[in-house]
Structure 1
Amino acid sequence: MTVLVTAEVQGQTRQGYEGMFSALSDGLKQAPGFVLHAAHPIEGGWRIIEVWQSKAEADQFFAKQVAPHLPPGIHPKRSIQELHSLLRS
């Protein structure tokens, strides 16, 4: 089932987010199950929003590609919600 993944990353800076995004974006676009990625600053950090075709695919990408590259002290608070619908253009 398609899922929405939201990560609140307290302590993350614009520079830190952009560095991670630059390093991961090509692999993210090619990752099995990836649908979309969006991000914006929040007070004290960043919010990342992604849509994946399944929770398993989202968790696998995070565990193998994201978690090993997180700077010390940066611990995203992830939440995953199954989606009822998704409309693409």
Structure 2
Amino acid sequence: MAVIVTFEFPGAGQELYDAVIDRVTGGRGFTRFADLGDPGLISHAAGPVDGGFRVTEVWESAEALEKHAQTFGPILADLGQVDVRPTVVPAHHVVVR
């Protein structure tokens, strides 16, 4: 079952996001899903919110998200984001282009 995950980064901005993407992709950037390396990502959106930055993704399954977290989690910790607690909910409906 697909899951929706939302990451909130209070006090952070695009600089943190860009640093994470740079490390996750080995400096290649993230303009297509193949850049990520982990299969299972359906959608990804990121942008500023009042007082911080938000990333919302849809993954094919909780297992695919967990596999990605094995790479993503240590990178966040290395960048000082040790208390990030994403919100994960089951997706009722997903539409893609």
- Kindly tell me the number of residue pairs found equivalent between the two proteins: 88
The equivalences for 1:3-82 within 5 A come to 3-25=3-25, 29-62=36-69, 64-70=70-76, 71-82=79-90
TM-superposed CA distance for 1:57, in Å, is: 1.1
Q: Which runs of 5+ in 2 are unaligned?
A: none
Read off the aligned partner of 1:68 and give its amino acid letter: P
Q: 1:44 to 1:60 in 2, by over 3 A?
A: same
TM-score, structure 1 normalization: 0.82
**8 Å CA contact retained: 1:9, 1:77:** no
Shift of 1:74: 4.7
Indicate the percent of aligned positions where both proteins have the same amino acid.
26
Deviation at 1:50, TM superposition (A): 0.5
- Shift in Å at residue 69 of structure 1? 1.0
Q: 1:66 to 1:85 in 2, by over 3 A?
A: same
CA spacing shift, 1:21–1:87, aligned 2, 3 Å: same
- What is the rounded CA distance, in whole Å, between the counterparts of 2:50 and 2:83 in structure 1? 16
Per the normalisation by structure 2, the TM-score is 0.76
